[in-house]
Each structure stands twice: as C-alpha cells, then as structure tokens.
Structure 1
Amino acid sequence: MSKDRIPAAVRQAPLSEGVEQKLEQRILSGEWEEGFKLPSEGKLCEEFGVSRTAVREALRELRGRGIIETVNGSGSYVSGGNLEMVSKAMTAYSSLATDSKAASDLMEFRILIEGAALGRLARSKRNKATRLQRLTDILEAMEQESDPTEFGRLDSRFHLSILETCNNAFINMIGQTLYAHYQRCIGEAHAVATEGMRKDTLTEHAAIVEAIRNEDADAAREALEEHLTAAAERSEMLGIGQ
C-alpha cells in the first residue's frame, strides 16, 4: 500500500481535499518544479487509493487556483504561477471594501508591504541615487502644487514609486493593482483637506525620504507607519474611508 494513501481519519472530509493537499505540498516544496508533468489520473487514483472523481476534483481545484494548468490531450503541468489572477482578486476586493474592518485591514497591509519596500530601498546600493531622486522630485512637485486634485495624484504617485523602485516585481505588481484604490482614497481626502493637512503630508513624506537617504531602514518603516496612521486619522476626521 502506498504511503501516500489518504488515511481513514481524513476520509471524513471529501477525499479530493486530501489529494489536493498532497499534490500541493509536492509543488510548493519544490519537489515538482514549474513545468513538471503530473502523473496520469489513473496513476494518482492508484497512488492515493481514491476514485477518479476525487482525483479530478482535486485537479480542478488546483487548476482554479492557478497552481497547475491542463493541456488537452497532453496532461496537467505545474504552473509558473498566475499573478494576473492574484491581481484581479485584489483589485476586486479593494474596489468593494468599504466597511471599516476592510479599510483597517487594507491600511495594515499597506504598512506591511510599503514598509518592506522601504526597507529594500534603504539598504540597496543599486541605482539608489536614481530611485531616491524619483521620490525627491515627486516631493518637490507636491510642495509647489496648489491644486488639491493634482496634489492627491502626486501623493498617490509617491507611494506607488516606493513600490515600483524597490526592485521586486511582485511588490510592484501589488502597487499597480492597488493604484485605483490609492487614487480614489487619497484623491477624496485631499479634495476636502485643509492646507495644514497637506503640509503635514509633506512633512511626513520628507521624513520617509530622509530616512532612505540615511540608509536607515528601521527609521524609514517607522516614518511610513506614522504617516499612514496619521493619514487614516485625517481621513476619519474628514469622514472619508481610507
């Protein structure tokens, strides 16, 4: 009997779930690399001691999650990942998330992802001057901008540039995915913000840039968290969901 047969205790749940978990483990562990052709349905049935229906359901779930892809007449293969599916899911969620819990979760996520990007920026030596100059140019443009709408657009661009210049394709993809959300929330806030609030934004952005210039990753992340927390408080004062 195969060591990978689904234990009896697990059979209380759908058998396909056990098969799915076993196959996913092999893929995520690197045992089955990208492009690897999975065994046939018949061989999987024999290995796991389940019906063809259970195997097909497991494969269907893995295919739906973008972990494998099936070629008609050829078989199923380990996928290289489907960032487009991730992007679409995040876009849909950020567009629909309007309740306070969802807004809070998204703010926490921004602190985590932008903080990680800032850490990379502060520590990296590669093209650092060029990447730092992009943020400095945006900050200087914001200082000269009197139109609230354009100020909001530049504010969004500042945060997106942090993600775009950290030299991580996945982080950059997330930034592009959340671009519409950034534009909507930040734009709405600055449209009704006071001059003092916009000055606070500039001061907080300047602290982030200075920390990057000093190659202080911890200070950069701290400045970002203070800025986003303060921005959320300002938006709440203005009656706008951040």
Structure 2
Amino acid sequence: MPLDALRPAPLVEQAAERLRAQIVGGEWGVGTKLPGESTLAKALGVGRSTVREALRALAGAGLVRARQGAGVFVIATEPAQDWPTRLREAAVAEVYEVRMMVEVQAVRLAAARRTAADIAAIEAALTARRAAGALDDAEFVRADIALHAAVVAAAHNTVLDDLFAQFAPVLHRGLVDLVTLLDLRADDPDHGDDSHAALVAAVIAGDADTAGRVLGEELRGTLDRVTAG
C-alpha cells in the first residue's frame, strides 16, 4: 500500500494515522526499520517536523521505538491500551482489588493530614450520602463514591485524587449493578451507613489505624459480594 500525499488538516494526526495504518495493516512488521524522516516526509507531502511528531505519537501508542543512531523500529502491530481504556475493560473485581490497596492507604493519610476544610467537606458528603437514601440506586452509589472521593482528597496527594477519579466511572457502573442485582437497599435504603459514619469519625479523629481497618472491612465485604456474583 503506497503512501499518498496528505490533504491539509491536522497534519500530525493524519501522518500518524497513515503510518499507523501501514503498521497495523502488516506493511511494516515487528522489527522493521521505518524509512527515514526525509523519505516519509516526501511520501506524505509534509515537513520533517510533522513526521517527527507523528512518530512520537506512534511511540506513545507503543507501536514504534527509536534506537539511538539506528532509526525507528516497529515494536508492535497493535496499539497499547491507555489507562482509562484498561480500566473500562477490566473486571469490576480487579478494579476493586486495586482500589482496596490504594484507598486503604489513602484514608490513613487522610486521617493524618485532614484540615478543617476537609472535615467540613467529608461531613457534607456523608450528609449527602444519607439524603441519597431516598433516591434511586444510581444516585445513591454516586453519593457513596463522592464521600469516598472527599476522604481521598483529604490525603492531599494529587496522584491519589487522579487515580480515584479514573476509578470512579468503573466503580459506579459495577456498584449500581451490584446494588440492584442483590437488592441491597430493599430493607436498608442507607446501606452501609454505620461503616461510613465510623470511617468519617476515624478520619476526623485522626485515627489512621481505625480508618484503615474500617474501610478495609467495608471494601472487603463489597469485593466478596462482587466475586460471589
């Protein structure tokens, strides 16, 4: 499949897509050295800087790798999945296992670092979770996750905040399905209120050990239900 000159538009994106098609289509197999920048630029009808940026995009997708002094080589014919995609496609149980490892430590940090503003936000989130007991499962789970997010935010670690934000959509989908399937709120619209109140109390009191234990037990109980289903 010959490389045709590109039309005016986002040239880097077009160049990356055209080169990606060559790789995914098998024109350039794993281990193949790509033509030089000048050759690719001439074939695509763009400048070398455009080709360079396109190759960087392909490298970010895990398709090619530059070797110092040797050139750019194909290392895979299928793009690597990014983190959000991996999360969306992962089993809820897998996500929950990672959540347990991350969030239990996060609440321990929150207990040590919470500020007056954090405490106010956490208490407001607990109140909102209780109010959501009168709402449908989707809104109740959303309020539940918002409370956990408020506690994680009290750890004052931006990486943890970002990681939990990535988890949230997957958790919401899986927990709504779980709550609905097992009808967990049939007799208790505020399902899990006692454990969440205990978690909030421990974080406010600065008791990292209790906060970690309470959350660990709560998440373990949910994971057991997920895996049993």
Scaled to the shorter chain, the TM-score interval is: 0.5 to 0.7
- Letter aligned with residue 95 of structure 1: R
Residue 163 of structure 2: aligned partner: 174
One-letter amino acid of the structure 1 residue matched with residue 184 of structure 2 = T
Whether 2:219 is the aligned partner of 1:219: answer no
Equivalence for 1:71: none
Tell me, in whole angstroms, the C-alpha distance in 2 between the residues paired with 1:153 and 1:200: 13
TM-superposition CA deviations, 1:119-168 (whole Å, max 9, x none): 1111115xx22212222212222223312221111012112222233211
- State the TM-score, normalized to the length of structure 2: 0.59
Residues 153, 161 of structure 2: 8 Å contact kept: yes
* 1:135/1:209 contact within 8 Å kept: yes
- 2:14 maps to none
1:198/1:110 CA distance change after superposition, 3 Å: farther
Counterpart amino acid of 2:69? R
2: distance between equivalents of 1:206 and 1:57? 56
Structure 1 residue 206: Cα displacement = 1.1
What RMSD over aligned residues (CA atoms) do the two structures have, in Å? 2.9
2:69 counterpart of 1:52: yes
Question: Structure 1 residue 190 and structure 2 residue 179: aligned?
Answer: yes
Cα separation, 2, equivalents of 1:179 and 1:107: 11
Flag structure 1 segments of 5+ consecutive residues without an equivalent: 1-13, 15-49, 62-84
Residue 220 of structure 1: how far off its partner (Å) = 0.8
The residue aligned with 1:156 is: 145
Shift of 1:179: 2.1
Q: Within 2, Cα distance between the matches of 1:198 and 1:110?
A: 24
Once the two structures are superposed, the pairs formed by residues 119-130 of structure 1 within 5 Å of their partners are 119-124=108-113, 128-130=115-117
Give the counterpart letter for 2:175 in structure 1. Answer: I
| TM-score calculated relative to the size of structure 1 | 0.56
Shift of 1:51: 7.6
Determine what percentage of the aligned residue pairs are the same residue.
19
Q: 1:135–1:161: 8 Å Cα contact kept in structure 2?
A: yes
Take 2:206 and 2:72, find their aligned partners in 1: how far apart are those partners? Answer: 51
Tell me the residue number matched to 1:105.
94
Paired with 2:87 and 2:166, the residues of 1 have a C-alpha distance of 9
Deviations 1:82-129 (A, max 9, x none): xxx9xx82211111113xxxx44322211121122211111115xx22
Q: How far is 1:178 from its partner?
A: 1.6
CA distance in 2, matches of 1:206, 1:51: 57
In the alignment, is the contact (CA less than 8 A) between 2:113 and 2:156 conserved in 1?
no
Taking the aligned partners of 2:218 and 2:203, their CA distance within structure 1 comes to: 15
CA contact (8 A) 1:118 1:212 kept: yes
Mapped contact 2:97–2:223 kept (Cα < 8 A): no
Show structure 2 runs of 5+ residues with no match: 1-30, 32-66
Matched, 1:234 2:221: no
* Cα separation, 1, equivalents of 2:116 and 2:149: 18
Q: Which segment is superposed worse, 133-142 or 150-159?
A: 133-142
Q: What corresponds to 1:140 in structure 2?
A: 127
Q: Which residue does the alignment assign to 2:36?
A: none
**What is the number of equivalent residue pairs in this alignment?**
156
Equivalent-residue separation in structure 2 for 1:152 and 1:97 (angstroms): 19
